[in-house]
Homo-oligomer: A and B are copies of this chain.
Amino acid sequence: MDLPPGNVSNQSGIAMNSIVRRGLTVIVILFSGCAAVAAQPMAGFDTSHAAGERSLEARFDGAIKAENMRTWMKNLSSHAHHVGSKHDEENAAYIASLFRSWGYDTRVEEFTVLFPTPKTCLLELTSPVTYRAGLAEPPLPEDTTSGQTAEQLPLYNCYSCDGDVAGQLVYVNFGVPKDYEELDRRGIDVKGRIVIARYGGSWRGIKPKVAAEHGAAGCIIYSDPRDDGYFEGDVYPRGAYRSEFGGQRGSVADMPLYAGDPLTPFVGATKDAKRLPLKEARTLTTIPVLPISYGDALPLLRALGGPVAPVEWRGALPITYHLGPGPATVHLKLEFSWDMVPIRDVIATLKGSGEPGEWIIRGNHHDAWVYGAGDPRSGLVSMMEEARGVGLLAGRGWHPKRTIVYCAWDGEEPGLLGSTEWVETHAGELSGHAAAYINSDGNGRGFLSAGGSHTLEKFVNQVARDVTDPETHVSVGERLRAVEILHAPVPERKVLRERADLRIGALGSGSDYTPFLQHCGIASLNIGYGGENGGGSYHSVYDSFDHYTRFGDPGFVYGVTQAQTAGRIVLRLADAEVLPFDFENFTETIALYLQEVMKLADDMRDETEEMNRKIQEKSFDLSADPTGVWITPKGREPVPFLDFSPMQNALALLKGSTSRFGDAWKAAGAARGPLPAETARSLDRLFMDFERSLITKEGLPGRPWYVHQIYAPGRYTGYGVKTLPGVREAIETRRWKEAGEQILVASGVLEHAAGLIDRGTSLLKQ
């Protein structure tokens, strides 16, 4: 699943930093009190252990071979390997065999999931002219696998319902809620009509959901050349971008409600799991939805009349974009085989020698929509090479202190099925044992992108300082900081220059970290490279070995860098004397989020007041061109002042606790050197429990599967994160009572977290 290459940064809000700033020695409060190495601290290690770890990492780096990644990518992407396909099964077996050969205790865990595939896909323009959409991605001589049409899943959106609908067409831009407000302004209603939305602006699954909420009968999603076609760059095979008849497959399940198999929320989709009847599966769409290419969209859009679309809505097709409704009418017929199919996760374990009960879990999915060279193969082969390197170290006498678990997930594309069903199945064990989950997905040339739990922000910054960018030969953190400084507006630029650590983004959804982080409260990271691998092959047949090795990461140079980065993260997490978590950046980030939600309420109050004033002043009426239809927006009830004081007080508690812990930590390090093993173990437990303390049993309002109170995918953004989601989404949707309740929930969580930190302080002072 993940995001298209080149867009990695949009997902998690890339943010990393090298700690050693130009000409400045940054003192970071860490385990070791030794001034001599303070410039190069390694969280979780004292000086002597850090030196050993560095030497281990050097050996690890030396083991990483680009050629392996190339070989595996070629092999694994030689045939289509979507969920349920023969090659998907073969790939799982092949991956498992490799892990076994590297010394891992490897098993394949199988689940049975709902996976519909198309029987009928029909889309036709029925008036004012007729056109039948080809819905086919043509083979290209320059692309070896594109000709294997018999094995390719057609263009479709997984978990669309069946449907046979006809009606007038309406263009709805990205099809997000504010687009419907623009349509309202022009008096255009989609009820009973078929909407056509372009990809972008939200996760695709949001589009049919919002269309259905507005009464639409069907939904078409197309790839506008503005977004990943010729407007952005030369199209395949000349360049990397989406060509005329290239399309984007993808899941449209209502993932913000719950991830995983639509029939088994909360429980693993084991053979005999209790399943919902199909009609009760709430993540399926309620209207049929189909993705098409811009070659197929052009005749439809050209046939639209009605008002000209707002300027921001217009794509790069050589037409005037109209909104409709009609005169274009379309007929959309979709029928699916609602099959139950097996998915196979490869789980490879290297048992810890010191704390085998603490698990460092590392995963990347292996299934794809078609050939998936970029998504997910590029990330997978890098993780495999990383695992081979770790295995090699283990074969030569090194043993990780903690247990390392490598996972190659199946069924990610339809809806994080493999990871979610595994997490749901093993939730109890994971709650007891999981220390952290490190995810990756597609990878490519460019800049480090890191998102995740802010207790790991300092740690990730240290890793980014220690990995060298292959293009510029500075650290990947330093390069990232340079590019961020180049594009940042003034206030952010100042922070980028002055803050020791680059910020890491919060995680929404779109890859396999979701069940770990947001359903189980396991501290998670998502790591990858990208930004120089732009293109438009995402979820098309052209996401192939040929495409990737020309445009994604020729030579797998960033595959090596990714292995060095994620490998370091795994090795340090596995070996550290105490888990390299930190509360300082976490607390500072929470303070930012609180500021944001308070500002959100204030801004909404101002905007509502201003909008109501403009309505009263008749600004809309007086500005309107009477030759068109312009409906004045409805006034809205004023935004009340919310009582944020419980959160402010909880934050104050958290700040105090964090500060005392920092002092105790420094004192412990300075006074005694390495911590006693028992203290270290207790601290580990505390760090593991800390992310768990951020979840609640009840979960978020209306979506109890999501239990994390700091990070969640947005109900109307999909992949896009909402931080402090209970509070933020209540405000965004103007549910003031709920906002008040959620402020109390979030405050309780923060108070609980502060209490845990205080326990840590006590441990250090014992």
Interface string of A610-630 (1 = CB under 8 A from B): 100010011111110111000
A485 interfacial by beta-carbon distance below 8 Å:
yes
Copies of this chain, whole number = 2
| Across-interface contacts of A614 in B (CB, < 8 A) | 485-486
| Interface pair A318/B482, CB less than 8 Å apart | no
Within 8 A of B (CB), among A279-334: 308, 314, 316-320
| Interface pair A320/B22, CB less than 8 Å apart | no
Interface size counted on chain A using CB atoms at 8 A? 42
Given A231-B314, A316-B316, A626-B471, the answer on whether A617 and B482 have CB atoms closer than 8 Å is yes
Shortest Cβ gap from A105 to chain B (Å): 42
| Interface pair A483/B622, CB less than 8 Å apart | yes
Given A235-B320, A617-B22, the answer on whether A623 and B483 have CB atoms closer than 8 Å is yes
Chain B residue nearest in CB terms to A554: B627
Within 8 A of B (CB), among A213-235: 225, 230-235
A630 to B531, CA, bound (A): 16
Binds B, one of A109-117, A418-426, A472-480: A472-480
Shortest Cβ gap from A494 to chain B (Å): 11
A532 interfacial by beta-carbon distance below 8 Å:
yes
Q: Which of A314, A320, A627 is the most central at the interface, judged by chain B CB atoms within 10 Å of its CB?
A: A320
Shortest Cβ gap from A604 to chain B (Å): 15
Chain B residue nearest in CB terms to A472: B622
A569 to B393, CA, bound (A): 89
Within 8 A of B (CB), among A664-693: none
| Interface pair B239/A623, CB less than 8 Å apart | no
Interface string of A410-436 (1 = CB under 8 A from B): 000000000000000000000000000
Shortest Cβ gap from A312 to chain B (Å): 12
| Interface pair A308/B233, CB less than 8 Å apart | yes
Shortest Cβ gap from A473 to chain B (Å): 10
| Interface pair A482/B618, CB less than 8 Å apart | yes
Shortest Cβ gap from A286 to chain B (Å): 35
| Interface pair B320/A317, CB less than 8 Å apart | no
A298 to B414, CA, bound (A): 41
| Interface pair A318/B318, CB less than 8 Å apart | yes
A-B contact pairs, 8 of them (CB 8 A): A230-B318, A230-B320, A233-B320, A471-B626, A483-B623, A485-B614, A485-B619, A486-B623
> Which A residues lie at the B interface, using CB under 8 A?
22, 225, 230-235, 239, 241, 308, 314, 316-320, 445-446, 471-472, 474, 478-479, 482-483, 485-486, 493, 532, 610, 614, 617-623, 625-627
Known: A472-B626, A482-B617, A485-B617. 15 other contacts (CB 8 A): A22-B617, A225-B318, A231-B314, A231-B320, A233-B308, A239-B320, A241-B320, A446-B625, A478-B622, A482-B623, A483-B619, A483-B623, A485-B614, A493-B610, A532-B625
Please list the 6 inter-chain residue pairs (A to B) with the smallest Cβ-Cβ separation, ordered nearest first: A482-B622, A483-B623, A318-B318, A482-B619, A486-B619, A532-B625
